[in-house]
Structures are given as C-alpha cells and as structure tokens.
Structure 1
C-alpha cells in the first residue's frame, strides 16, 4: 500500500484503511495548521485520526468511564468515604491510558506500512516534548511525594470533619499519586523512545509535532498534583506553612505545564510546505 496516496476510506474493517471520521479529523487538524487538503495521505489520516476521540465512532470506553466517574462521585460523597478525589483522578488516568493504547494500535498499522525509523536520541526527543513539561512532571511526582510525607508527619490543628482520620485519606492519595506516576511513565517512555514514522520531511515534521502533543494529550501530569494537596488544607482549614507550600507547589506545576503547552503550540503553529494529501 502506498501511504502517500490520498486516504480514501474503503472499508473501516480492513487493516490499514482509515475511517471516514479519521479522515475528517485529519483534514481539520491539517487545516488548522495551514495545510488545506481534501483527502490527507493514509499515513496522516491514520496517525491524526487515531488520536481523536471519535476516530472509531463513539467508543464504548468513553461511556463506561463517564458512568464510573458519576458513580464514584455519587457513592463516595453520600457515604463519606475517603479518596473521592483520588478515585476520580485514577479513573481519569485509566481513561487516558486506554485511549493511548487504542492510538498505539493505529500507530502499529502505520509502522507496518512505512517501516519504523530509528528512535530519536533521547535529548532530541526531550527537546521536542519540551523541558517545561518534563520539569513540571518531575516536580509533580517528586514534590508530591515530599508533600505527602510531610502531611503524614503533620497533625491538623482542628477536629476532623470526617469519621476517618486524615492519615487514611493521605495514604489513599499517596497510592493514587504513585499510580499516576506509573501511568505517566508508561506514556512518556513511549513518547520519548518511539521510532520516527515518516516518509518525507513533511510527515517527519508531523511526527515531531505529535510526539510533543502526545505528552500533553495522554499524560497531563499536572492533574496529579491535586493528590499531593494536604487533606486538611482541602477541607478549608487555615493553612499553615504546609498549606502555603502546597499551594505554591500546585501553582508552579500547573504554570510550568501550561507554559510548555503554549510553547509547543507556538513552535508548531504552522506546517512547512510539503505533501499532505490532495
């Protein structure tokens, strides 16, 4: 199959053929960056369309996770059980990993069509992702672990508003933070070491752009920073030194990740001249 041929959908059940929805998503993605085509190449349709939520229609897992999210919020709030925020974040993390795995299946099809290039040197791949993102991610989990430890060693200066001691909620959040770190490492490791999937300079540029976007799309690590916030600060107690430290940590992590996203969008705001379809 010639991946440079326009991606006219034939049968979505056939391997290597993008769906109508994937082609449409790829067209819109390219148009937003200055490359207006009617039919994108198969390589781009598979790679870009495979990253859309509707690439295969409305996936069943979207509905499943939405129901789990609602059930978690309703059940834990009514029963006053610890870990409502932790479980919500874990559901979100599982959703991202499942979505990422589905995208990887489309990437494997592309790899079988064009052949996998050599992975980029780690420093080059890290530069494409952005140092702001990597710094934010490191600070999220290292700083979060330190805050969790400090929370366990600090007694709140007011009676607990729940029937369980604060240490129970802190441990639940700490475990959730560790799971979030694992989910982030799973995605980020692949982002940094994935082979280059390209057939010409234009698709190579798109490969770098997707590498940078995938870190934010499938591993937005700043989300997990909320798990490190001391529970007695979240309960609206008067913040002491730990509360102010946690607030500074949260603002720094979010600001770094937002700055990284802005820089990525600015760096890749327009596609270079090349063949993207017809």
Structure 2
C-alpha cells in the first residue's frame, strides 16, 4: 500500500481560493494550462483537479484519498466519506452560500408546499428530490446544466433551486426567493480506508491542522507596542488577546514591549485608545497562521 496521499483540489470557482489557502498553509500548488495534475512542494502528496460535484464520489471510491468540496455536493452524491473539517474561505460571508427556492415575482408559489405537482429546475437534483419527499411533496425535479434562473423566467420551469451568496443575481433576473433549502460551506473530506493507513492519516491531520491555522489567521493581526511601566496596567485593561498579552522588558527599565494577537476589525478603534493610555510605537503586522 503506497503512502503517497492523493489530494483533490476543486476545479472551478473554488480553485484559486483553495490554492491560495494551501499557499498560506505552507504548500505551493502550481497549475499548468490544460493539465489536471498540479505539482505540489511535498513529496508525500500528489494533486488532481476535480470538479466539486465529483469530489465526493472520487474520494468515497478511493480514486482520491482526500479533497475539498462543498458540503452540498457531499450531500447531493450521498458519498460515504469522512468530513474532517469545515473550512470557510470563499469571498462570501462566514455563513457561506445557500441553495434557495426561486420563482418569478408573480408566481403563486409562496411556500415549499406550493411545489406540489410543479416542475423544478436545479443542478442539485438528488438533494432537492429527497428534501421534497421528506415533506410528502410530489414534484418533477429536472436537472439543469446551467442558466437555471432563465428557465423560470422563460416559463420552462415553475421554480428553481439555485445557489447564491447575496441574492443579487437572482433579483437582477426579476426573480423572488421563497426560502432557503440548504446552507453550504467548504469541507475537507477523506476516504475512510485511507484514514486506516497511519501515514496517510498523519498527512491528512497535518493538512487539516495547517489549513485551519491559515484560516484562523485571516481575521487576526499582531499588534506590537511600547508602554511606560507606569501606564502598563491601564493598557492591559483595554488590550484584548487570545490568552494574555506578552510583556517583555526593554533596555530602558522604565518601558516594556507588549505584543498581542487580536481581531483585525478591532484595531481601528483600539489604537486611539492605546495612544490615549500612554502606548507608543504601535505596529500592526500580518500573521500567516494561528495554531
């Protein structure tokens, strides 16, 4: 049994963000035009570019040992995989994207129950069909290769189940969102047999740890400042940290250096408070990982 880990990288909308995340985590993935097998700076890993929709079945079947895809596509395929860790790293909000039920503005459909006997266009046919069956709703769920909203606008379908982040595209087509059916996010998944291989499991655990560390760092910054000892207590009272700020002595016995990791969004309001409390030489630094 080979110990080389076969890693799936999602091709398409998540591809660039995934490669950027791996770069921040310490792995350089290099793609080449018309090549589905990117190189990676780790002799224990090989990479394949795979459509998100196909990632679950490839991992479940053992073609890949692990990969990243949306939880929606794992649910759609009902792939028997192990979800190692959720990873939110797209440009959308922390809530991720959502699959919504969409109709025309003048449609009589107001609730999911109104779909009885209707035609629904979607790429997420398996999940949608099971969702409706669980509610005893009989409808004609048809697979859509794309331009799903247009099928509703043109009257080819009574409704659509489509993915969105903000809903702006749906509204631009003059459509109305009835309700959310599924909130989705990216997940790191693994083949259950691969997890029984100690070497592969160790590498999968390493990837999961480092990806999380990179993501956790994205909303954080390192703040460094010099503080007169006489003002230290006042500064520490207003300075947030993960556990407790680091305080180190300087060559001047009347001053100390303080470091802390905090939320990026807090810096704007915090710096004036720190200056008012006596801090000087305040530096805001980017960080790559938080473990």
TM-score, shorter chain, exceeding 0.5: no
Query: Which has more strand, going by share of residues?
Result: 2
Q: Which has the higher contact order (CA 8 A, sep 6+)?
A: 1
